[in-house]
A and B are shown apart, each in its own frame.
Chain A
Amino acid sequence: MLLTREELLMRDGAEGDAVAAAMDLLIRYGDALEAERLVDTRNVAGTMTQPSPAKAKLFAEGGWARAYAVINLDCDRDIEVPRMKVPTCQLQHGFAEDAGGLTAYPEQSIRLQEDAESFFSERGVNILATCTPYQVGNLPTRGEHCAWMESSAVVYCNSVLGARTNCEGAASTGAAALTGKIPYWGNHLPENRHATHLVRADVDVDGFQEWGMFGYFVGEQVLEARPAVTGRLARPDLADLKHFGAATATSGGVEMFHMPGVTPEAPTVEAAFGGGRIAEPITYGRREREAVYEVLNGQGTSRDVDFVLLGCPHASLDQVAQLAALLEGRRLNSSTELWVMMPRALSTMALRNGYTRTITAAGGRVLTDSCPAMSKAAPEGTRVFATDSAKQAHYLPAILGIEAWFGTLAECVDAAITGRWSGGLA
């Protein structure tokens, strides 16, 4: 990889040992990718605060500096963590104080995470604590080079915003934050952003659930490739695009899609393919839609629902308003919990607008910072859960060993009120 004089100086320690370790990792990473060079970034979204078992052990050995060295820089030396060189935020992490006592998630981990927040915010990390940084103040501009983690945020960043990031990890974002550099590879190059596959919906894709199912299908079909999607698509809103992208990155590894007429780099199908040959369409019809529904609902036998989980990726204010409208004047079944996860910054607005009061009066909870999949914890005794998120329906059974139902928001609320799943494909 070609390195500038500035980068060579960083590697050789001119900006301190931590920056040298960061540059060493970026060089190993860029060489492995066969990147031609690094590119400047001023927008890093990573993870450093959640006390996983491995991280808690490192913290016990040598504090947060040791944890950052090993996990965020792949470095075994003792280093001091300097102030982040470029604007950096952290993403969703473990449960916070608001979830204390609701699950078996250790109180000690909540405290440890608060300590980590102090340590890293003092070093310039903005604590956003959400998988949707674009909802709460980190909205990259078109063409901006970013170094982001979180697959659902990465696909949103590339596709919906037209900014440029690969699906980075804890170590590459840790190194990018201290250097302002990331390998110029993959999605950073304009020629790598054109569509490779065409997927055409021959059934109506309209509404949150349908967008999630369509996304799950697209991800299964194209894996890590770049689909352009067309057909009977209603005009999606922010929540639809967030759900669609998250689903494509769950069943596959989609980091970029084009939706001609909706996403910025694809005014037309031709533009999505960069003027090249347009691929033969993969079709999403009635049978394919039913098959996706069966897969997402093939993880449950009992219809007795203990737990309803909403807000994956973290809910928008609009989604929370819809939930409040459905719960107005109603009361949850005594044996069913309902949680909606959202960014803490938006929860301030949910409180201010009375949505939180309505949801909590019904027996539900508005929670922030994390989700059951990230924290590996649900209400104690949960055996069967229901969700409106294709991503959460995919991951949570594997992570917690519980059964899952996937449906619309209204079906999930109905399950929370009755304690029974009665959803079905319309």
Chain B
Amino acid sequence: MTGRPAGTRAIELRGRGIVAGVVEAPALVTREPISGFGGIDVATGTVIEPRHELFGVSFTGRVLVFPGAKGSSGWSGFFQSTRLMGTAPAAMIFDVMTTKAVLGAIVTRVPTVVQAVPAPLESIRTGDLVRVDGGTGVVLVFPQAGAAAPRGTESETDELFVQ
């Protein structure tokens, strides 16, 4: 179970909130951009692109931490459908500003923070508990024991936790 472990110091990230709201949920982190159309299944809230590192993984109810959107202009419509089907992520955190991802966050109506510092992809690991405030742009990360390091960045990430 996830929770705030006693004595663990939270890492604070600051970005720009683009969709207001506060939520706390476990993170799902990917270094690969996500496609909407042909990239996710809205009925199950899972990534379906065969070569994606999250292939078969569900983002429903999790804080989706990703670099940005790719592919079809259906991106916003597909993520909006996850809201209508009850399979949406709990929040979004991304870096690369595109109309697809920004409009997608708005119509998914989940708290969203963009371009946070320090870099979310280096600071958050899948399974960490994350509190996202889409109004102030503040993201608090509560590292979880056993959370998966982002691929190929284990040492960098560990250094961050030591600081």
Residues of chain A at the chain B interface (Cβ within 8 Å): 25, 28-29, 31-33, 47, 52-54, 57-58, 70-71, 74, 148-151, 154, 166-172, 183, 185-186, 223-224, 249-250, 252-253, 295, 299, 373, 394-395, 397-399
Contact = CB atoms under 8 A, between A and B. Distances in A.
For chain A, what secondary structure do more than half of its interface residues adopt (helix, strand, loop), or is it mixed?
helix
Nearest to A298: B51
Contacts of B103: 29, 168-169, 171-172
Q: For A167, A172, A394, A397, which residue has the most chain B Cβ atoms within 10 angstroms?
A: A167
Q: Which 6 residue pairs across A and B have the least CB separation, nearest first?
A: A169-B76, A395-B38, A32-B18, A149-B73, A54-B84, A166-B99
A359 to B, nearest CB: 27
A33 B71 CA distance: 19
Contacts of A252: 70
Interface stretch (B41-49, B116-124, B140-148): B41-49
A32 B43 CA distance: 27
Interface stretch (B4-12, B104-112, B153-161): B104-112
13 contacts: A32-B106, A47-B77, A150-B72, A169-B73, A169-B74, A170-B74, A170-B80, A172-B103, A250-B72, A398-B39, A398-B49, A398-B50, A399-B48
Nearest to A295: B51
Contact of A74 (B37, B72, B73, B80): B80
Nearest to A224: B98
B57 interface: no
A28 B73 contact: no
A260 B84 CA distance: 45
A149 B84 CA distance: 21
B135 interface: no
Given A74-B106, A171-B107, A52 B81 contact: yes
A271 B25 CA distance: 48
Contacts of B106: 25, 28-29, 32, 74, 171
Contact of A168 (B33, B37, B73): B73
A417 to B, nearest CB: 29
Nearest to A45: B73
B69 to A, nearest CB: 7
Nearest to B108: A74
A71 B19 CA distance: 17
A32 B99 CA distance: 10
B132 to A, nearest CB: 15
B111 to A, nearest CB: 12
B75 interface: yes
Contacts of B72: 150-151, 249-250
